């Protein structure tokens, strides 16, 4: 549920909202029966709260009915859930289930392109390109490192090249001299 809330929202905001959400709705079946107005009020600060509330309830309902209140651990099953795309599914596979997974968010997309690991802007293609470059055992860790590198060093508008640990390996056009 937290990954659904994270769309167009900061992790910090999601981390403020989820304790209240999970305290109020302890199981998928409880969330599946949530009153929209109450749920919307809890998640309002995450943005797009009406759409997210609808997806949370529908997802919880599907988890309850189709999967016996257990979050599935297969890509095909995860992406069948309302509000769950490949990015969210890969977050769950890698972090919750310990399976090799490449999460492609805006940071991974930017850093992968700057490092010439891909030439695509399509997240699905970037995922495939990275999968071909790396052994499966490294997918989760490398995508997490790319994400963090993009979030804190290789920023979109003004990369912090002077602090970059892979400066010598980078030939991005945005690269600034040290």
User: Looking at 52, 87, 109, 129, which residue is catalytic?
Assistant: 87
Q: Are 166 and 126 in contact (CB under 8 A)?
A: no
Long-range contacts of 149-157 (CB under 8 A, 24+ apart): 149/107, 149/111, 150/106, 150/107, 150/108, 150/110, 150/111, 151/107, 154/107, 154/110, 154/111, 154/114, 156/106, 156/110
Contact 100, 140 (CB under 8 A): yes
Residue 87 appears among annotated catalytic residues: yes
For the question of residue 105 being annotated catalytic, the response is yes
The per-residue DSSP string of 67-93 comes to: HTT----SHHHHTTSTT--HHHHHHII
Q: Which residue in 54, 77, 105, 175 is the catalytic one?
A: 105
Which residues are marked as active site?
87, 105
């Amino acid at each position: 549920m937290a990954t659904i809330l994270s769309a167009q929202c900061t992790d910090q905001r999601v981390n403020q909202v989820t304790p209240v959400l999970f305290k109020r709705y302890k199981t998928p079946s409880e969330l599946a029966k949530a009153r929209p107005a109450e749920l919307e009020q809890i998640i309002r600060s995450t943005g797009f709260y009406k759409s997210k509330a609808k997806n949370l309830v529908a997802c919880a309902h599907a988890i309850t009915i189709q999967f016996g209140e257990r979050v599935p651990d297969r890509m095909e099953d995860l992406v069948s859930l309302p509000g769950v795309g490949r990015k969210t599914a890969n977050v769950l596979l890698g972090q919750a289930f310990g399976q090799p997974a490449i999460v492609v968010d805006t940071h991974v997309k930017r850093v992968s392109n700057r490092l010439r690991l891909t030439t695509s802007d399509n997240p699905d293609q970037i995922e495939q390109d990275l999968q071909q470059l790396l052994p499966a055992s490294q997918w989760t860790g490398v995508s997490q490192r790319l994400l963090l590198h993009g979030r804190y060093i290789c920023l979109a508008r003004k990369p912090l090249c002077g602090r970059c640990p892979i400066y010598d390996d980078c030939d991005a056009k945005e690269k600034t001299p040290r």
